């Protein structure tokens, strides 16, 4: 079998980090992101109307609103309230989120090959676990679920969640590969020294990753699954006793 750049990257990865919303599921598929964003904007407008004033943000993106609030007033007491509201909304969304096609099969295949798996996400860890437990996937990741921390909010492109994953898995950056779907995922992985595969289901996301010069971009998890089944990944599996 000819070794492609994607198969080479996957073959050498002893540890795979997954972003959550996108690569594993569509978190807001049934609990719309614009509804959540509207509630966060209203909370800020009602309690601290000047926080978002003059700030650039995407009005329908909950994380963009949280980022804008953090930039404008990182020490404001309302930030914790906004983060908790977002966590509650994400937990609700996780209860009905649609699975990304072939993501569960990929997770099972990687785990079966003996690779360590982790989640590195801007979403709250509690919401991530709601989804993982709902689908029986928590056993493949626990204890390596690294989401947003309420008392120390650092969102990608800050590499904080990846650094926590490196610490919890005991892996070196060169042994790891992240699957993410946004430029901020790539920036965080690059800062942490972790390899990266971009997942982009729609053309808009492909272009966003290409603008960052991301070398490996797939349009479906089936592409990754097909490659991983054909790699020499079995060498990662610990020997039988």
CA–CA dist 62, 37 (Å, integer): 4
Tell me the pLDDT tens digit for each residue of 128-152: 999 999 999 999 999 999 999 999 9
Q: What are phi and psi of 224, to 5 degrees?
A: -70, -40
pLDDT of residue 152: 92
The dihedral of CA 194, 132, 150, 66: what is its sign? positive
Query: What are the tokens at 63?
Result: 């994380």
Residue 206 clears pLDDT 50, i.e. is over it: yes
Q: How distant, in Å, are the alpha carbons of 49, 56, 107, 138, 234 from that of 111?
A: 47, 41, 6, 12, 11
Query: What are the tokens at 4?
Result: 């492609």
- Mean pLDDT taken over the chain: 93
pLDDT of residue 55: 81
Query: What are the tokens at 164?
Result: 């926590």
- Cα of first residue to Cα of last residue in the chain, in angstroms, is 30
Cβ–Cβ under 8 Å, residues 224 and 9: no
CA–CA dist 235, 114 (Å, integer): 9
Residue 232 clears pLDDT 50, i.e. is over it: no
Tell me the pLDDT tens digit for each residue of 20-72: 999 999 999 999 999 999 999 999 999 998 888 878 899 999 999 999 999 99
Percent of the chain with pLDDT over 90: 87
pTM passes above 0.75: yes
Average pLDDT over residues 3-26: 96
Using DSSP bridges, classify how beta strands 145-148 and 116-124 pair: parallel, antiparallel or unpaired: parallel
Q: SS in 3 state form for the chain? A: CCCCHHHHHHHCCCEEEECCECCCEECCCCCCHHHHHHHHHHHHHHHCCCCCCCCCCCCCCHHHHHHHHHHHCCCCCHHHHHHHHHHHHHHHHHCCCEECCCHHHHHHHHHHCCCEEEEEEEEEHHHHHHHHHHCCCHHHHCCCEEEECCCCCCCCCCCHHHHHHHHHHCCCHHHEEEEECCHHHHHHHHHHCCEEEEECCCHHHHHHHHHCCCCCEECCHHHHHHHHHHCCHHHHCCCCC
Q: How distant, in Å, are the alpha carbons of 93, 193, 209, 237 from that of 232?
A: 37, 23, 28, 10
């Amino acid at each position: 079998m000819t070794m492609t750049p994607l198969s080479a990257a996957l073959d050498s990865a002893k540890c795979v980090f997954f972003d959550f919303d996108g690569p594993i599921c569509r978190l807001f598929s049934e609990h719309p992101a614009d509804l959540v964003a509207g509630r966060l904007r209203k909370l800020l407008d009602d309690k601290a109307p000047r926080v978002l004033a003059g700030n650039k943000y995407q009005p329908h993106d909950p994380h963009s609103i949280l980022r804008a609030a953090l930039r404008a007033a990182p020490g404001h007491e309302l930030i914790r309230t906004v983060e908790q509201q977002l966590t509650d909304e994400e937990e609700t969304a996780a209860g009905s989120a649609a699975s990304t096609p072939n993501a569960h099969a990929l997770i099972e295949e990687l785990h079966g090959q003996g690779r360590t798996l982790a989640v590195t996400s801007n979403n709250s860890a509690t919401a991530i676990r709601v989804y993982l437990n709902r689908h029986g996937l928590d056993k493949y990741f626990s204890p390596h679920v690294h989401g947003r921390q309420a008392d120390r909010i650092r969102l990608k492109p800050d590499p904080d969640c990846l650094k926590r994953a490196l610490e919890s898995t005991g892996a070196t950056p060169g042994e790891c590969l992240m699957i993410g779907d946004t430029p901020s995922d790539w920036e965080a992985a690059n800062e942490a020294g972790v390899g990266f595969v971009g997942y982009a289901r729609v053309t808009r996301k492909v272009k966003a990753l290409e603008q960052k010069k991301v070398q490996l971009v797939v349009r479906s998890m089936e592409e990754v699954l097909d490659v991983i089944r054909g790699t020499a990944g079995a060498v990662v599996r610990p020997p039988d006793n």
